[in-house]
Amino acid sequence: MFTRSFRIAAFALAALVTGTHAAHAAEGLPLERWRSYAGVSWEPAQGGADPAPFAGSVGAPIAGIHFDAQGQAYVSTPRLISTAAPATLSRLDLSVRSGPARLSAFPSLTGNATTAAPEQTLRNVLGFHVDRRNGWLWALDMGFIAGESEAPAGAQKVLVLDLKTGRTVKRIPLDGVADRKGSFLNDIAVDERRRVAYISDSGMRSAPDNMVGVIVLDFASGQARRVLDRHPALQIEREVKVVSHGAEVWAGNPLLIGINGIALSPDGRTLYWTVTTGTRAHAIPTAILRQADASAAQVDAAVRDLGPVGGNTDGIVTDAKGALYITDVTRNGIVKYDPRTNTMALIASDDGVHWPDTPALLPGGDLVFTSSALNDHFAGAVKSGAERYELWRLPLGARKASTR
């Protein structure tokens, strides 16, 4: 099995084995299993037949997903359990609905190599952002890969890549604001107009006293600052247990995840986040985070508690109207937070969803999220060849633009 730190760090990785059915949300919206993949493959199809699945598919689950303006999907397959996957960031062919997920390495196989200079290539990506305004992809590289006790020097970074060409637009190092042993650079939210990124550091490799924090990154200057370092609103709630499908995840060896999901309001003025080993959502005005001379006390005072979500959480995203959508891993669905009324409600849930992970919006506004059976995966209950990686969809926008 894995060491305790790697089991904690690999919270987003798993497989999903379920039947096919649809459920209806509390608001009457159908939650549907949109794509269901038997493993992954980076091989081209031959003669119209499905390519052979990658032999190590069970160690390369689809965790993150985002879409460009044309509906092209990009996915991350983090190297938290195995280093065998040829890529950690790829394009996904959505025209294929089943069989192995057909992936093509982005920006290239060479650009995903683990044997090259660690500051130059993508080694281990979980969170990333597709920037439709500037035509870029902001890839957050955690730096370490499976089997490494710390990230090599220069490996923790953000690579800003051109979506059309794959060339590196900018490389921004993070070693100065993240700990090479204790940090877990989880997710990234980008203010595309201001070209400022916000990164959640879950600090899981330093659990139980997680080195949590938020990193503020400015594209123009290439500078990064750490704020809210070890702030209680980002830290695990010690009395809280992570529950999925009615059972504690890793009972006796608890899952300890601090700040995880991170998202911006459409105007970029508010940053939201959730804590997985916790129960609540929080927010802060981004103006105070961008103010380099703001004191720690001023930043701390600006944090706002939005109240309980209802279950343990993972990823979050906002829509064009400012509503916040939160994946609820305890109740197998999606929670909606309305900032106008300060209310939260579970709007979609299905027992077929196991560990809803990253939510993202299609160009037409529909919500798509990945899901994974975390506890089954790490308990060894999902065997090689039996893994399934699935995408679920909640129609929120115009169906005609939702890339069927």
Convert the pLDDT of each residue in 228-239 to its tens digit: 999 999 999 999
Say whether pLDDT at 378 is over 70: no
Sequence-distant (≥ 6) Cβ neighbours of residue 391 within 8 angstroms = 33, 34, 35, 36, 62, 65, 368, 369, 370, 371
Give the Cα separation of 13 and 80 in Å (integer). 8
Q: Where are the beta strands (DSSP E) in 123-182?
A: 125-131, 136-141, 157-162, 168-173
The answer, yes or no, to whether residue 11 has pLDDT greater than 60, is no
Share of the chain above pLDDT 70, in %: 89
Arithmetic mean of pLDDT over the chain: 89
pLDDT for position 211 = 97
Q: 261, 263, 204, 284: which is closest to 236 by C-alpha? A: 204
Statement: residue 265 has pLDDT above 60: yes
Give the domains, in start order, of the chain with CATH numbers: 4-43+148-160+176-401 (2.120.10.30)
148 closest CA partner among 183, 109, 172, 120: 183
Residues 6+ apart with CB under 8 A from 244: 312, 329, 330, 332, 354, 355, 374, 375
Look at the block and give the residue holding tokens 């060409």.
Answer: 165
What average pLDDT does range 114-142 have in this prediction? 97
Query: What token pair was written down for 84?
Result: 């065998």
3-state secondary structure (DSSP) of residue 82:
coil
Instruction: Categorize the per-residue pLDDT at 40 as very low, low, confident or very high, splitting at 50, 70 and 90.
Output: very high
Condensed to tens digits (0 to 9), the pLDDT of residues 234-257 reads 999 999 999 998 989 888 888 899
Residue 190 identity: V
Contact 368, 65 (CB under 8 A): yes
Mean pLDDT of 165-177: 98
Residue 167 three-state SS: coil
Q: What is the four-CA torsion angle of 392, 61, 352, 258, rounded to 10 degrees?
A: -90
Q: Indicate whether 342 pLDDT > 90.
A: yes
For residues 228 and 156, what is the distance between their CA atoms, to the nearest angstrom? 19
Whether 158 shows a pLDDT value over 90: the answer reads yes
Q: Under 8 Å CB-to-CB from 284, ≥6 apart: which residues?
A: 228, 270, 271, 299, 302, 303, 304
pLDDT value, residue 27: 54
